Amino acid sequence: MMETLQSKSTMESSLLHKTRHSLVKAISLFIGLGLGGSLIAFGNGGKLVASAAEIEAISFALGPTVTRRLTPEQYQRVIRDVFGPTIGIRGRLDPTLRVDGLLEVGAGRISVPPSSMEQYDLIARGIADQVMDEQHRDVLVQCKPISSTAFDEKCAEEFIGTVGRFLFRRPLSQDELSLHVDMARIATATAKNYSTGLSLSLAALLVSPQFLFRHEVLEANPDTSGKYTLDAYSKASRLSFFLWDSAPDGQLLAAAEKGELRTQSGLLRQVNRMVASPRLRDGVRAFFTDMLHLDAVETLTKDTTIYPKFSSAVAKDAREQMLKTIVDVLVTREGDYRDIFTTKKTFLTKKLAAIYQVPITVHVPTGSPDTWRPYEFSANDPRAGILTHLGFLTVHSHPGRSSPTLRGKALREILLCQKVPAPPGDVDFTLVQETDNALLKTARDRLTAHSTEPMCSGCHKIMDPLGLALEKFDGGGTYRTSENGTPIDASGVLDGVAFNDGADLGKAISVNPASISCLVDRLTSYALGRSPVQGEMSWVNELYKTFATGGYAVPALMQEIALSSEFYHASISLGPNYD
């Protein structure tokens, strides 16, 4: 008993030590820079004065900046980065909207409805309470207050200024600092407790618009008159959320503060550092989670009487498997994007291995939480590439049945960026779906026997043949060769490339030009927070070319985007219907 307690406390202190270490490191980075440098108040950094005609001319060539709300994942990561991993998030973080295929684009459209605000407030107070609790206060709050009840202005100012710089992703303006110090003062007096006062002021930073929204400030472009570019801190944020899916670290903020991000060499130095950092994996994972709709796993349920091995834990493993495989190909092995559709290499847990019907040995050393093992499907195994992974197969199926239509739609819309039209109204679907006909044993039989309805067949011809390639995997992702005793035919053709099964389909997708342009289009939209406008298309076309000549390396493409002037140029945000 004694021993257990002791080891627990050792673990906690080591976690704390880590927190302390990273915080001290981070703080030391901007010691000496002070808060009095180039302070930029929210929005007035660029001092924009532009005529309506000027704005119109620019908006044609350049898109607007977009004020994005932090996604739940970004929120969690920023809190972990700033306060350390022992601070928990207690409450519900609401997702953004999916717009033009991406949650990151929806992040630029969503506001904060009252019930989300209530949750932000609850979570913020939870975080602030933990930061001020006995376990963390001494580490995270540098100054010691003069007493527990009296207000210590110097200490409050120091704490709020330090934390606020990370949360607002720039130094607080003098007004902002005074406002939050005043909050702490008033709250201390009301609650008759300094720690409570400081805690509430920290909570206020965490619900303030400057934290929850990534507002971008423009300034006149020093190189090109009449054009605007993001100011240094907005550049730092764009970079950081794009490459790391989190707020800028101390080094990046310092580079912004010193004006280094205004020079191409300074920018290059930071981008190279960030692309080389292990945190690039967070950025790559965040992008592919968004692009591949892996958030759908959160609400995925299967009928466990039909798929007894499936559970919400399996669903989470399935998402992780896809992400691990993608990161392995693209980052670890610095491979070709197209290989994610064909690779035999992956990572499995015992639960996944059971569904894939392959043997893995997971020997977990004492204390290691890692239950993942690398695995390579054999040459004759039907699985290859992410399309044959559970994370794709199960999400785009019904709870108790596969769906060639849903899978085909996902392949078209998610991987090829092609839009499948919505079905028309007043259509009788029993014409195309007749499950109770004993003569129609497979999905292919059912879908083709009734392709006589021209109103339906037009779109189903786009979706179903692709989806049928994956029919040898049922709605729970398990391999099968027949349905109702009849062998499954998974063959088909995509744009002239024939395939015989799911692994083959991966090859056909990987060589399809649309899958390449789709990746570039999604990545640029993800970076900008909106679809590129007409004037930016020449840049996107250039990116197609460099992506191809660079061997379809995604980190290199991200680096290319991060170094492009187009990534930072913008017009003034114009209104809801700019596109």
Partner 1 sequence: MARNVSRRTLLRGTMGGAAISVGLPFLDCFLNGNGNALASTGSALPPVFGTWLQKLGLNPGMWEPEIVGPNYENNVQLKIWDQFRDRINIFTGLRYFLDGRPLKTHTSGVQIAYTGGIPNGTDGGPSLDSKIADVIGKRSRFRSIEVSIDGSRESASQRSGTSPNPPEKSPVALYQRIFGPQFQDPNAAVFTPDPIVMARQSVLSAVGEHRKSVMPSLGAADRERLDEYFTSIRQIEQQLTIELEKPEPLVACEVPSVPEEATPGTVLSDVETNSNLFAGLLGYAIACGQTQVFNIATGSLNLRQTGSAYTWHMATHEESVDEQLGYQKDVFVFNTWANKTFLNFLRTLDGIREGDGTVLDRALVLWQTDHGDARVHSLTEVPVFTVGSGGGRLKTGIHVAAPGDPVTRVGLTVQRALGVPIRTWGERSNETTRTITEIMA
Give the interface segment with partner 1, choosing from 179-187, 274-282, 359-367, 552-560 (CB under 8 A).
Answer: 179-187
Q: Which of residues 114-173 bind partner 1 (CB under 8 A)?
A: 114-118, 121, 125, 173
d(CA 42, CA 170): 9
User: CB 273 → partner 1: shortest distance, Å?
Assistant: 30
Provide the angle, in degrees to the nearest 10, between the axes of the packed helices 72-83 and 114-131.
20
- What part of residues 51-70 is at the interface with partner 1 (CB under 8 A)? 64-67
| Residue 179 or 414 having the CB closest to partner 1 | 179
Q: Which of 286, 329, 475 is nearest to 394 (CA)?
A: 475
- How far is C-alpha 407 from the chain's CA centre? 22
The conformational region for residue 385 under phi > 0 = left, psi -120 to 50 = alpha, else beta, is left
User: Could you say which residues in the range 304-333 bind partner 1, by CB under 8 A?
Assistant: 305-306, 312
d(CA 185, CA 153): 8
Question: For the packed helices 554-563 and 513-528, what is the interaxial angle rounded to 10 degrees?
Answer: 40
**Dihedral sign (CA 446, 452, 454, 457):** positive
Pick one of 70, 187, 292, 488: the residue that binds partner 1 (CB under 8 A).
Answer: 187
Site for partner 1 in 451-480 (CB under 8 A): 475
By C-beta, is 9 or 437 nearer to partner 1?
Answer: 437
Q: According to the binding rule CB under 8 A, does residue 418 interact with partner 1?
A: no
Residue 449 in contact with partner 1, rule: CB under 8 A: no
End-to-end Cα distance, the chain: 65
- Which amino acid is present at 20? R
Q: Which residues ranging from 288 to 307 are in contact with partner 1 (CB under 8 A)?
A: 299, 301, 303, 305-306
Are 502 and 470 contacting, i.e. CB atoms less than 8 angstroms apart?
yes
Contact predicate 537/504, CB 8 Å: no
Nearest by Cα to 441 from 449, 452, 453: 449
Torsion sign over Cα 419, 492, 407, 524: negative
565 CB burial (10 A radius; 0-12, 13-18, 19+): middle
Choosing from 27, 146, 364, 427, the residue that interacts with partner 1 (CB under 8 A) is 427
- Nearest of 17, 569, 491 to residue 238 by alpha carbon: 569
Q: Which is nearer to partner 1, 172 or 275 (CB)?
A: 172
Is 23 or 35 the residue whose CB approaches partner 1 more closely?
A: 35
Interface segment toward partner 1; rule CB under 8 A; list 89-97, 315-323, 448-456, 505-513: 89-97
Our finding on whether 575 is near partner 1 (CB under 8 A) is yes
Residue type, 368: S
527 scored as a contact of partner 1 (CB under 8 A): no
Q: Provide, rounded to whole angstroms, the least separation between the CB of residue 429 and partner 1.
A: 4
Q: Which is nearer to partner 1, 248 or 475 (CB)?
A: 475
| d(C-alpha 79, C-alpha 270), whole Å | 22
Stretch that binds partner 1, among 91-99, 280-288, 360-368, 537-545 (CB under 8 A): 91-99
Q: Among residues 278 and 575, whose Cβ is nearest to partner 1? A: 575
Instruction: Report the run of H or E that residue 375 belongs to, with start and end.
Output: strand 373-376
Find the binding residues for partner 1 in span 220-279 (CB under 8 A): none
Rule CB under 8 A: say whether 366 interacts with partner 1. no
**Nearest Cα to Cα of residue 479 among 384, 348, 413:** 384
The residue count for binding partner 1 (CB under 8 A) is 85
Sequence-separated (6 or more) residues with CB below 8 Å from residue 437? 446, 449
- Among 8, 18, 21, 92, the residue binding partner 1 under the rule CB under 8 A is 92
**Options 210, 270, 405, 525; binder of partner 1; rule CB under 8 A:** 210
Q: Of 322-330, 356-364, 419-427, 547-555, which segment contacts partner 1 by CB under 8 A?
A: 419-427
Minimum Å distance from CB 127 to partner 1?
14
Kindly state the smallest distance separating residue 296's Cβ from partner 1, in Å.
10
Shortest separation between residue 502's beta carbon and partner 1, angstroms:
21
User: Closest separation between CB of residue 551 and partner 1, Å?
Assistant: 37
**Between residues 183 and 331, which has the closer beta carbon with respect to partner 1?**
183
Q: Which is nearer to partner 1, 480 or 545 (CB)?
A: 480
What is the Cα–Cα distance from 500 to 498, expressed in whole angstroms? 7
Nearer to partner 1, 118 or 153 (CB): 118
183 binds partner 1 (CB under 8 A): yes
Nearer to partner 1, 109 or 338 (CB): 109
Residue among 200, 326, 466, 508 that touches partner 1 (CB under 8 A): 200
Minimum CB distance to partner 1 smaller for 44 or for 272: 44
User: Which one-letter DSSP state was computed for residue 560?
Assistant: H
571 forms bridges with which residues in the sheet?
64
Residues numbered 380-399 forming contacts with partner 1, rule: CB under 8 A: 398-399
Nearer of residues 212 and 469 to partner 1, judged by Cβ: 212
CA 89 → CA 124, 199, 200, distances in Å?
Answer: 8, 15, 16
Stretch that binds partner 1, among 105-113, 277-285, 323-331, 340-348 (CB under 8 A): 105-113
Which tokens in the block code for residue 125?
């107070």
For residues 110 and 99, the answer to whether their CB atoms sit within 8 Å is: no
The strand pair at 228-230 and 569-570 is best described as antiparallel
Q: Which of 75, 519, 545, 529 is nearest to 326 (CA)?
A: 519
> By CB under 8 A, is residue 423 in contact with partner 1?
yes
Stretch that binds partner 1, among 77-85, 323-331, 337-345, 416-424 (CB under 8 A): 416-424
Extended beta strands in 183-310, E state:
213-214, 218-220, 228-230
